[in-house]
Amino acid sequence: MIDKNNIPQHIAIIMDGNGRWAQERGQVRTAGHIEGVAALQRITADCCRLGVKYLTLYAFSTENWNRPNDEVAALMGLVLTHLTEELFDKNHVRMRVIGDRSRLPEAVREKLEWMEEHTASYDVMTVTLAISYSSRWEITDAVKQIAQEVKEGKMTPEDITEYTISQHLNSGFQPDPDLLIRTGGELRISNYLLWQIAYSELYFTPVYWPDFNNDELIKAVEYYQTKQRRFGKTGAQIEEEKNS
């Protein structure tokens, strides 16, 4: 049974397994990506109903640019054809994008930026799409920004704190994830939100992303709710704070 008073406020998901889902059914990998978009739509609505405030989805990594050209083109095409305002309007969800936008096709970049502007006033939940994203790229970009500000005299090296770095990240507009879910059975992070998940609870499932539904989401949240989040403190300290 879900504890409605202990819902993770920020869930990050590595949506893995689309290609394998399709291949196991004798279909082309693109068919799996199309089903993956349908899963994205379902889970967005499910998270809204649960009361999640931030949902960050790993849609396309910088390493994914190395995939076959036809698959990359198909993935970019899905953004244009299947990412519609209807989902966000219906649920009053704001959309944000993190990643290296300079590598995106112009039409895709313009569509994403239009969606960000169109949904800017929605406040039920924020869905962040990580597209052309990698955590090492994000951290490198933040370091460059901070170095430039030091060079310009806007801050000194002594001014740099963990908070400074967090605020200069591409994702600095949102809190760190409480729960990271990876579908598809792989037990790795794949260059995703490395700074931000320092204290996130990690949940891995063999279920391919197209098959990930509300029941699977509930399993992940129930797992999260079994964890005592100590952030370096002892369990006794946490209990004492809870009861004080």
Q: Which positions are catalytic? A: 16, 64
Q: Would you state the structure tokens that stand for residue 33, as one six-digit string?
A: 């990506």
Using H for helix, E for strand and C for coil, what is the string for the chain? CCCCCCCCCEEEEECCCHHHHHHCCCCCHHHHHHHHHHHHHHHHHHHHHHCCCEEEEEEEEHHHHHCCHHHHHHHHHHHHHHCCHHHHHHHCEEEEEECCHHHCCHHHHHHHHHHHHHCCCCCCEEEEEEEEECHHHHHHHHHHHHHHHHHCCCCCHHHCCHHHHHHHCCCCCCCCCCEEEECCCCCCCCCCCCCCCCCCEEEECCCCHHHCCHHHHHHHHHHHHCCCCCCCCCHHHHHHHHHC
Q: Which of 183, 78, 179 is nearest to 131 (CA)?
A: 78
Phi, psi of 42 (to 5 degrees): -65, -50
